Amino acid sequence: MSRIKFNHVFAGLLLLSLVSAFVFPKKTSAVRANVQSVFYPVAKPSRMIASALRGPFDRPADKRAEKDVVAENHRLRATVANLMGQIDELRKIVSERAEFGDIGNFCTPVPVMGSDPAGRDSLSVLGTFDVNLFGQPVLYIGGLAGTIERAGVSGAQVRLVTDRSFSASASIGSFATDVYGEEKFRAAEGLPSALVEGTGRGGMIIKNIEYEDAVKHVREGASVVLDDKDFPPILARQTLGRVVSVKKRPEAPLMADIEVRPEWNLMALREVMVFQPGSGGKGQHASTN
């Protein structure tokens, strides 16, 4: 059908509809109804589909008071802010765990329940632990946090490196990046192996180095790292803390009191990593379930 013929037909149909609507008498309405019934099988499904599609968008207006709507918006905003805070915290935890590197594959993360109510430098951690974990190292993102002191089905007690009962051999020096971009520890020359002892209240001290040697080779801010054969070799060079002061010992002026502080406030930790060489990081001996 050519374009001209189609336009003629369309114009004719339009004219016929106008005549039937405004010119034909009312008595012809019955005839029109019969004609409409012919199209009913098509019209009804179309109307049902249109009603279904219009339903979700044809909702009644919110009749609540304005103050109720405003209050609900405030609650929703607070909920969203809380959820975003939780997401940020989870991202931080994932990022921190990734910084453990290969050692993280041999560790089980456990949450901290709180500190020792008796005033010692120790933490209570949540989980079901094998009693054979006694003495097992406990790490945090800043280095060695301490060792397992007691373990059982209801949790464990972690003796921190700052507790008065803790001691370990260590080296004093500094970290530097080599030509390959890897961070290496360089021990200070002219110093014997340092014996680090916890003093309580978040501190440690080294007393076995002569004051003259300490003044020559130890600087404030120097790193103190684990160098103890009683610990697994993979934990060598784990940071214990940093030197904060070098002083003469009052009762023995030839010896030095080298004060050391951990990288972080260990009593404020919310999660620690229990080192378990045989677990592969899967928590075979410690579970938080």
User: Does the structure show a pLDDT above 50 at 282?
Assistant: no
When pLDDT is cut at 50, 70 and 90, the band that residue 105 belongs to is confident
User: Does the structure show a pLDDT above 70 at 112?
Assistant: yes
pLDDT value of position 62: 65
pLDDT value of position 274: 94
- Which CATH number describes the domain made up of 99-161+267-287? 2.40.10.340
- Higher local confidence (pLDDT), 124 or 23: 124
Q: How many residues does the chain have?
A: 289
Tokens of 104: 């993280």
Interval 101-105 mean pLDDT = 80
Contact in structure between 139 and 165 (CB atoms under 8 Å): no
- Closest Cα to residue 136, out of 273, 289, 284? 273
User: Does the structure show a pLDDT above 60 at 33?
Assistant: no
pLDDT value of position 258: 98
pLDDT value of position 174: 95
Task: Tell me phi and psi for residue 49, to 5 degrees.
Answer: -65, -45
**Residue showing tokens 């709180």:** 114
pLDDT value of position 70: 83
Q: How far is CA 160 from the centre of its chain?
A: 23
- Closest Cα to residue 288, out of 98, 90, 111? 111
When pLDDT is cut at 50, 70 and 90, the band that residue 82 belongs to is confident
pLDDT value of position 61: 62
pLDDT value of position 285: 46
Tokens of 47: 């109307």
pLDDT value of position 52: 67
Lowest mean pLDDT among 18-27, 199-208, 279-288: 279-288
Arithmetic mean of pLDDT over the chain: 82
- Higher local confidence (pLDDT), 46 or 249: 249
- Which CATH number describes the domain made up of 167-261? 2.40.10.350
* Identical topology for domains 99-161+267-287 and 167-261: yes
Provide the residue ranges of all domains of the chain, joining segments of one domain with +.
Answer: 3-57, 99-161+267-287, 167-261
- Higher local confidence (pLDDT), 48 or 154: 154
Share of the chain above pLDDT 90, in %: 48
pLDDT digits (tens, 9 = 90+) for 160-213: 999 999 999 999 999 988 777 788 899 999 899 999 999 999 999 999 999 999
